[in-house]
Chain A
């Protein structure tokens, strides 16, 4: 088995395909634990993991927390807003304080891109990026990829379409890097106004036509559309968005492959980017994504904390 050497998991852009494969393999072996009657192994006993969430998030936080607990780590969960911290104290001050409490790992979610990168540079504990601004959300993409691999058996050569607000999506960016490194063909599809400038320089096919985006896709990953984007003038109305970019059974029948698989990182706007019958129907693997999220996060925690231990031993 390949060695994992990184102290942190900040994004998929910086990983190579072997590292991604290693996480997926490790996740596969952890998945079984969650099906046991006693869903707990002692692997990370004695480790302290802090979940620092500066943005509201139920599913990612609970997924990480369960992953940590099933590995017997102690967890501290801090939910706050970026503004609550700023009274004279810098973000680094806050984290240096947490570090001084001798924790082993900090899982961070923040509304600003780059936060995890900057902290990882100045902090001893492992940093896991649980979503930074519009930049990356590596564990979400890993669980997406894990789910695809589990269902389709492989990643290489698959056609994966990501549909929606690509500009503001960290899920899209992490998926683009992760999937293309493993040999998938990625198409991004959304309104022109929600595709970042120069997106075509990324290793993706770009289209603003949903039929085109669906055609030949083995997997369609539907992104959540934020209602604020409409107020910012980025698209005319949710109604028009649903008509042009909403994924419906009818459109799937007309344009997509018969065995297409539908994913969504949640939370969904039912009836807007995805219709309820698609979300709950035969194509959907949305709840399996949630289940797999725990296994993938267990794998990530296990690997980075293992690497942290190795690093310490070398220093001693």
Chain B
């Protein structure tokens, strides 16, 4: 079965291709990228006035299965991912049971096979049960299909364990993704510490809770020579630390999330629990620092940190609500609206940070368009304006602070291994 994408503007971050071209797909692979391809047997997909890019890659999402299927399942998250233009997603291990052994990895991969939509790459836990005490079987986790290790949701508080995890992961050959949060500084906090938390009377999470851990982990990575990826960078000082570390040739990369570069802590003023996220929404100055970091390349990737929670869980007082925002279906549009339309990034650079770059951070064979590559492709209308509506989410959860906002840009077709998995109307 052949598929021919015609008349689109093909953007490939790896080869830097940016031209009007057609793409012919056969047997799940890209056969040819060239102008004016004709093929009478192929199904034609018209991409005129659209961009044709590598399928987006999310390096950080929570799929909630196994254990929290009432929030999200691999199937519902796959639909959300496809609608957001994602063809590959890495899922964090804070499921129940935790992804800390081969059995859970195999379960996830087999459920994903049944769902049959996207490429799903499990991230194994650094420590057993995410307890921060003993290393998970990192070698076995890699052999069963994990692409990185993380205790996301917490830092590994014990610096010795973190050091050994970095060394061991270096041997195994996979990066460590660190959620940086010094727990004693953050304890009990529910939003960014600053003027807004002072006014609202809510306990703050100081930015220094993040930055002391970013600093520690950078030093550990430097000392061990291991590969460190820092998750969801949210504040100015973290960006500065990572910039300096990169200048010093430390093997560190990082990501930031659309909610962190779009919304400041002022969004919390209404006590809307959908603005409660960890790390918290920071200040406008922090947003500016993130934008600088995105622009100068300090920030390598844009990740969703898609974190679904059921409506009843969020419909409680702010103190008690769980942290998290869903992001798979809004990330691309937020990137276009906040970064491209505001001239922080070109569309080419945005696509790179949402596909090729995260794939490269984890060594995935995804995120580029070339002959013989897997036909994972997203077609995007970069001009279309749409309003985020609660009832339109394909995710099982609706915890988005962007409901009601008008955004620009959306996926109009998502293709995995040559098969169209999302195409509205």
Contact = CB atoms under 8 A, between A and B. Distances in A.
Given A90-B315, A114-B271, A197-B193, A13 B199 contact: yes
Given A90-B312, A114-B271, A202 B318 contact: no
B406 interface: no
Given A113-B319, A133-B319, A199-B198, 7 more contacts: A113-B201, A114-B318, A117-B271, A118-B271, A133-B202, A197-B206, A201-B195
A113 B200 contact: yes
Contacts of A90: 312, 315-316
B274 to A, nearest CB: 12
Contacts of B271: 113-114, 117-118
B316 A91 contact: yes
A132 B193 contact: no
Contact of A117 (B206, B270, B320): B270
B139 interface: no
26 contacts: A13-B199, A90-B312, A91-B317, A92-B315, A113-B200, A113-B271, A113-B318, A114-B200, A114-B271, A114-B317, A114-B318, A115-B317, A117-B270, A117-B271, A133-B201, A134-B202, A135-B200, A135-B201, A136-B201, A196-B198, A197-B194, A197-B195, A197-B197, A198-B194, A198-B195, A201-B195
A68 to B, nearest CB: 25
A156 B195 CA distance: 25
A170 interface: yes
A197 B195 CA distance: 7
B204 interface: yes
Contact of B319 (A112, A196, A197): A112
Interface string A156-183: 0000000000000010010000000000
A69 interface: no
Interface string B171-214: 00000000000000000000001110111111110100000000
A202 B193 contact: no
Contact of A110 (B193, B199, B270, B317): B317
Contact of B198 (A110, A111, A115, A197): A197
Nearest to B191: A113
Interface in B307-345: 312, 315-320
Nearest to A133: B201
Interface residues of B, number: 21
A202 B271 CA distance: 19
A292 to B, nearest CB: 24
B192 to A, nearest CB: 10
Interface of A: 13, 90-92, 110-115, 117-118, 132-136, 170, 173, 196-199, 201-202
A132 B198 contact: no
Contacts of B197: 196-197
A187 B150 CA distance: 47
Most buried by B among A113, A118, A202: A113
Contacts of A91: 316-317
Nearest to A200: B195
B199 A202 contact: yes
B349 to A, nearest CB: 34
Nearest to A201: B195
Contacts of B200: 113-114, 135
B398 to A, nearest CB: 16
A112 B318 contact: yes
Nearest to B193: A197
A303 B197 CA distance: 30
B201 A170 contact: yes
A173 B200 CA distance: 9
A197 B192 CA distance: 11
B348 to A, nearest CB: 39
Interface string B115-128: 00000000000000
B201 A173 contact: yes
A117 B271 CA distance: 8
A132 B316 contact: no
Given A132-B201, A136-B201, A112 B194 contact: no
B199 A134 contact: no
A21 B16 CA distance: 66
Contacts of B201: 113, 132-136, 170, 173
A237 B214 CA distance: 34
Contact of A198 (B198, B202, B312): B198
Nearest to A121: B270
Contacts of B206: 197
A118 B198 contact: no
Contacts of B270: 117
B316 to A, nearest CB: 6
Given A117-B270, A198-B194, A112 B317 contact: yes
